[in-house]
């Protein structure tokens, strides 16, 4: 008798399956926050606490989730966020996620610290993808990365500003996170229980940071890479560097990691086409507010000057709708698609997007809304104008 396939109806189902199939250190890398993880939990808790306003007696046929994000047509207001080590959740993970996003009609964002390189993803997709940039001390390397992104046809540069130093993530430290995993007894015992993952990794050559190894002088192996990365995150980063990157990059520029209205205004003044309200998924400053708590203020401050996107905490289509209602033009998902990737590979990313699309569509209908572009805070309880 053939084994029964798991019935996947929610992002939580994907998370549970990913936890079974992905090695501990890489699953924990995704499913953790910094320090007490208080901000990590607040991101999801504060979103789920926002109540939706159910309506009846209105036509809800012909619903449309189609819109635009930074001028690009999308099937729903969702983009795949840049996530490091995506290719350690599943072999060739960035390529698989990019292909799933392309078929579904939503943007994919490749991280600087991806396993598959910019060129790898470009060779396996036809839709222009977004590239996320960390500003490192080696400015010549940054210039080369920007040129590579341009040559690969990337349509947007996502500049992440909230990782000048790294928040302390206890699980990563305890697991001895590395790529590929160090051959310790603890790791070997855990890998034996993940045969799908191991077979996939044996079948690919992509097991380290593809955008860095071979592109930086002196970085040719894992040990030299680790030393280089630990020294490269730049604590001298300022808005002048953002202006410098704006001059180098002629395409759309998105500034990610904004949690303060003054910073959002500064990003717009530096030429950002969009800002992403993000606390790095609760992985940086523990004790910071949730992203949904600061979204309305930031949207009010810069929404007429720069597009406002949102991430951190999205686990359902209802969360997407809540963020849009509070001022986001669209959202970026990280953990949700990574759970799908770890659980089922490319099919899991597609299933994640299907779940979000279905939940968003049904929730719009139950709220009496037929066009995602018409959504505002009137669909939320105790917000917006109320009928007499």
> Is-catalytic flag, 215?
no
**Structure-token match 């191991």, residue found:** 198
- Annotated ligand binding at 283? The verdict is yes
- Annotated ligand binding at 4? The verdict is no
- Annotated ligand binding at 39? The verdict is no
The active-site residue, picked from 90, 124, 215, 280, is 280
- Annotated ligand binding at 53? The verdict is no
- Annotated ligand binding at 87? The verdict is no
- Annotated ligand binding at 77? The verdict is no
- Annotated ligand binding at 134? The verdict is yes
The closest alpha carbon to 112, from 90, 142, 92, belongs to 142
- Annotated ligand binding at 82? The verdict is yes
- Annotated ligand binding at 160? The verdict is yes
- Annotated ligand binding at 196? The verdict is no
- Annotated ligand binding at 224? The verdict is no
- Annotated ligand binding at 169? The verdict is yes
Q: Which residue ranges are tagged as binding site?
A: 29, 82-84, 111, 132, 134, 160, 169, 256, 278, 280, 283, 311-315, 334-335
Catalytic residues: 280
Q: Which residue ranges are tagged as binding site for glyoxylate?
A: 29, 132, 134, 169, 280, 283
Q: Which residue ranges are tagged as binding site for FMN?
A: 82-84, 111, 160, 256, 278, 311-315, 334-335
């Amino acid at each position: 008798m053939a084994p029964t396939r798991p019935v996947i109806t929610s992002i939580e189902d994907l998370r549970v399956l990913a936890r079974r199939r992905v090695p501990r250190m890489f699953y924990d890398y995704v499913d953790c926050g910094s320090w007490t993880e208080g901000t990590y939990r607040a991101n999801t808790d504060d979103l789920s606490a926002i109540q939706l306003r159910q309506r009846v007696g209105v036509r809800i046929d012909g619903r449309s989730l189609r819109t635009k994000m930074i001028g690009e047509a999308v099937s729903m207001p969702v983009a795949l966020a840049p996530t490091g080590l995506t290719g350690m959740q599943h072999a060739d993970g960035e390529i698989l996620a990019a292909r799933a996003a392309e078929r579904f009609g939503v943007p994919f964002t490749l991280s600087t610290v991806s396993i598959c390189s910019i060129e790898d993803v470009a060779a396996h997709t036809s839709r222009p993808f977004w590239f996320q940039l960390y500003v490192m001390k080696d400015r010549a390397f940054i210039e080369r990365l920007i040129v590579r992104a341009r040559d690969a046809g990337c349509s947007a540069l996502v500049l992440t500003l909230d990782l000048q130093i790294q928040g302390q993530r206890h699980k990563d430290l305890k697991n001895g996170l590395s790529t590929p995993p160090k051959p310790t007894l603890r790791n070997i015992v855990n890998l034996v229980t993940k045969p799908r993952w191991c077979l996939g990794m044996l079948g690919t050559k992509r097991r380290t940071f593809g955008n860095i190894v071979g592109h930086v002088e002196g970085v040719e192996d894992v040990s030299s890479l680790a030393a280089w990365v630990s020294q490269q995150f730049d604590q001298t980063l300022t808005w002048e560097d953002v202006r410098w990157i704006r001059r180098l990059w002629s395409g759309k520029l998105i500034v990610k990691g904004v949690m303060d209205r003054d910073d959002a205004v500064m990003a717009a003044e530096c030429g950002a086409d969009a800002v992403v309200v993000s606390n790095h998924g609760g992985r940086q400053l523990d004790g910071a507010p949730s992203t949904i708590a600061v979204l309305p203020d930031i949207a009010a401050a810069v929404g007429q000057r720069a597009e406002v996107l949102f991430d951190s905490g999205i686990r359902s289509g209802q969360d997407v709708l809540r963020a849009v209602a509070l001022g986001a033009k669209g959202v970026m998902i990280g953990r949700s698609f990574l759970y799908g990737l770890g659980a089922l590979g490319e099919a899991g990313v597609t299933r994640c997007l299907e779940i979000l699309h279905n939940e968003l569509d049904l929730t719009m209908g139950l709220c009496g809304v037929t066009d995602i572009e018409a959504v505002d805070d009137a669909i939320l309880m105790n917000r917006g104008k109320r009928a007499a």
